[in-house]
Amino acid sequence: AQTVTQSQPEMSVQEAETVTLSCTYDTSENNYYLFWYKQPPSRQMILVIRQEAYKQQNATENRFSVNFQKAAKSFSLKISDSQLGDTAMYFCAFMKPDSGGGADGLTFGKGTHLIIQP
Amino acid sequence: GAGVSQSPSNKVTEKGKDVELRCDPISGHTALYWYRQSLGQGLEFLIYFQGNSAPDKSGLPSDRFSAERTGGSVSTLTIQRTQQEDSAVYLCASSLAWSGGIYNEQFFGPGTRLTVL
């Protein structure tokens, strides 16, 4: 079974600062996907960024980037030029293809509550 | 519809009653997922459907939980004899079919908040 650990229950930074959210995971799989999801108070889960384990290059989406260290099983999210709208719960998640070649469900960490202060 | 919809958005029930939660996936999405989000357990994966078939039901918390999907579209999560520990937000997500390990994003609905008194 896979586990995902987020060791920072809450973080608070000033607007425009850069913040890094930590995530580690444990798996014996070699082929898998990692994700960061954002959940604002509206409850709507929004995909922020994804990383395929077979890709060495770190994923980037505008102000969001990851530092993927496969050997260390670490997957941190960096948010640059943080904005008030980035305030939300952030969840790290793991997914592996199932035995039929489809996708198994996501395994989530406990989440980090990120607060961007004006 | 434009996105995944779930109904009801909120449900309050008495302990021991049965409840049905509904999920309408995005049109054309053959994969459908149910998750539970609670304060104590965080986000848990419950079950997924590929078409009308659920390959693995081991994520369901107990035999009081069941799920079905008909016509490859709408899915219903049923909880029988509800208990207070069933209180949580139940999230549904859908995606295009996976094939050969090619990733397709899961799109989430707004969830159903279930409160068991």
Do A58 and A67 contact (CB within 8 A), yes or no?
A: yes
- Assigned token pair, A79: 């948010």
- Residue B100 has a pLDDT of 64
Our CA-based measurement puts residue A111 at a distance from the nearest CA of chain B, in whole angstroms, of 8
pLDDT in tens, A25-59: 999 988 899 999 999 988 889 999 999 998 989 99
Q: Which of A44, A46, A94 to mutate to test the interface with B (most CBs of B within 10 A)?
A: A44
- Assigned token pair, A16: 């425009």
Phi, psi of B26 (to 5 degrees): -65, 135
Mean pLDDT of B20-45: 93
Exposure string for B42-62, b = 16+ CB within 10 A, e = fewer: ebbbbbbbbeeebeeeebbee
Q: Does A100 sit within 8 Å of B110, measured CB to CB?
A: no
Question: What CA–CA distance (Å, rounded) separates B112 from B61?
Answer: 17
Q: How confident is the model at residue B9 (pLDDT cuts 50, 70, 90)?
A: very high
- Residue B84 has a pLDDT of 96
Is the C-alpha dihedral spanning B3, B7, B12, B14 positive or negative? Answer: negative
Mean pLDDT of B69-95: 95
Q: Is the pLDDT of residue A101 over 60?
A: no
Do A42 and B110 contact (CB within 8 A), yes or no?
A: yes
Mean pLDDT of chain B: 92
Q: Does B95 sit within 8 Å of A103, measured CB to CB?
A: yes
Pseudo-torsion of CA B91, B114, B66, B77, nearest 10°?
A: -50
